[in-house]
Amino acid sequence: MINPFEDTIERLEELTVHCGNEHVRFSKQDLDLLSKPRRTLVVNFPVKMSDGSLKIINGYRVQYNDARGPTKGGIRFHPDVDLDEVKALALWMALKTAVLDLPFGGAKGGITINPKEMNQEDIESISRAFMRQIHHFVGASKDIPAPDVYTNAQVMAWMLDEYEKIKGRKEPGMITGKPIELGGSAGRDIATSLGGAYVLKEIAREYKLSDSPSVAIQGFGNAGMNMAKILKDWGYKIIAVSDSKGGVYSEEGLDVDNLINVKSSTGSVTNIEAKKITNSEILELVVDVLVPAALGGQITSENAENIKAKVVIELANGPVTREADKILHKNNIVVAPDILANAGGVTVSYFEWVQNNSDETWEKDVIFTKLEKKMIQAFQRVHELAVNIGSDHRTAAYILAINRIIDAEKKGVSQ
């Protein structure tokens, strides 16, 4: 099992070969600033469950870098959450907000539970208890949480309510991805997918994909499902999708609306009538576009040579490992890295934060117009840098982000 944090730090170390290039404004010593998180909080706390038992919950909040502003990042509930994963995710968030030129640093949080085995009452109890543990460390001008894997607007609502009870004041800007009724933003539910789709549209134009590109999507949760809906409406052909129970494939194209209905009613896309494939097989299909939208570490040195897609859009965090990246680049596969491709979520979270802090409400079309502009500008800057230094897009995105973070560090923006 590849350690995601160590893998990312090794990516940073590999960037030193570019130091001295006219497009690189940091030194090896500067990179050392990003080798460790600014602050790390580990909590272990008891929660009384609905069956009367007492359960000890493990939780984490990592604030990686705040040179460019208050830290920003989601909270995930997953049985495999550990400190190294949260550190890696927090570092990626710092890079992601810098790539999109948002006035945020990067953070991440996680709780080591399996919410699929819990009822809503227990999830609410854990959510509120976690906020009681971390409330001193978060806030609208300090660190702003958001939803992530297996958390949603309802979880954010519970955490916001608990925070405001503790503080004795209203502060909707302390958390994003919350319900519209509590100050959430229109469009936040599809923002990650739509941002990735805008990046794909630019790549399709730049690399001259066919008029109706074929697409395989690994992961049919919120991000993967919405990506399928958006791309179907844009004329793309969705030929394969998968979830945690397996996948389905049709060379002629799948009925996306039916997929969504079956997923909603039965819990898995595998219950439609179509050829069954595994989560490993879906990665190796002959398609124009592959969208890993599940968990990290899916494309590794062991299967990278088998990837046949022309373009990989990373809606998940860290789905391609460092060694796999090199193989994909060698094979001329264009990878839109996670810190660019899935940055639509944090970008609309930024819009939500601005709306909360200025007591404004923006219409959905305004938000989507602003999101498209942000995503296109970010892609164009990353692509231009990749061309100028002869690198893949991830290397260019990392350099662009680190340039901005180090510039902020040197100008004394850090609090």
Report the distance separating Cα 86 and Cα 89, nearest Å: 5
Top-confidence residue, 289 or 21? 289
Q: Between the CA atoms of 145, 99, 343 and 375, what dihedral angle is there, to the nearest 10 degrees?
A: 140
Whether 308 is catalytic: no
Task: Give 327-349 as a DSSP string.
Answer: HHHHTT-EEE-HHHHTTHHHHHH
Amino acid at 253: G
Nearest to 219 by CA among 93, 318, 304: 318
* Percentage of the chain lying above the pLDDT 90 cut: 94
* H or E segment to which residue 59 belongs: strand 54-65
- Mean pLDDT, rounded, for 180-197: 96
Report the distance separating Cα 25 and Cα 43, nearest Å: 37
Tens-place pLDDT, residues 248-285: 999 999 999 999 999 999 999 999 989 999 999 999 99
Catalytic residue (choose from 87, 108, 201, 310): 108
DSSP 124: H
End-to-end CA distance of the chain: 36
Q: Do domains 39-173 and 191-341 have the same CATH topology?
A: yes
What are the domain boundaries of the chain? 39-173, 191-341
Tell me how far CA of residue 148 lies from CA of 155, 192, 284, in angstroms. 10, 11, 27
Tokens of 180: 């519209």
pTM for this one?
0.94
Q: Is the pLDDT of residue 215 over 70?
A: yes
- Mean pLDDT, rounded, for 17-28: 91
CATH topology of domain 191-341: Rossmann fold (3.40.50)
Q: Is the pLDDT of residue 247 over 60?
A: yes
Report the distance separating Cα 165 and Cα 132, nearest Å: 10
Report the distance separating Cα 357 and Cα 351, nearest Å: 10
> What CATH number should be reported for the domain whose range is 39-173?
3.40.50.10860
Inter-residue contact 153 to 178 (CB < 8 Å): yes
Q: Give the pLDDT confidence score for residue 413 in this predicted structure.
A: 46
Tokens of 378: 């970010």
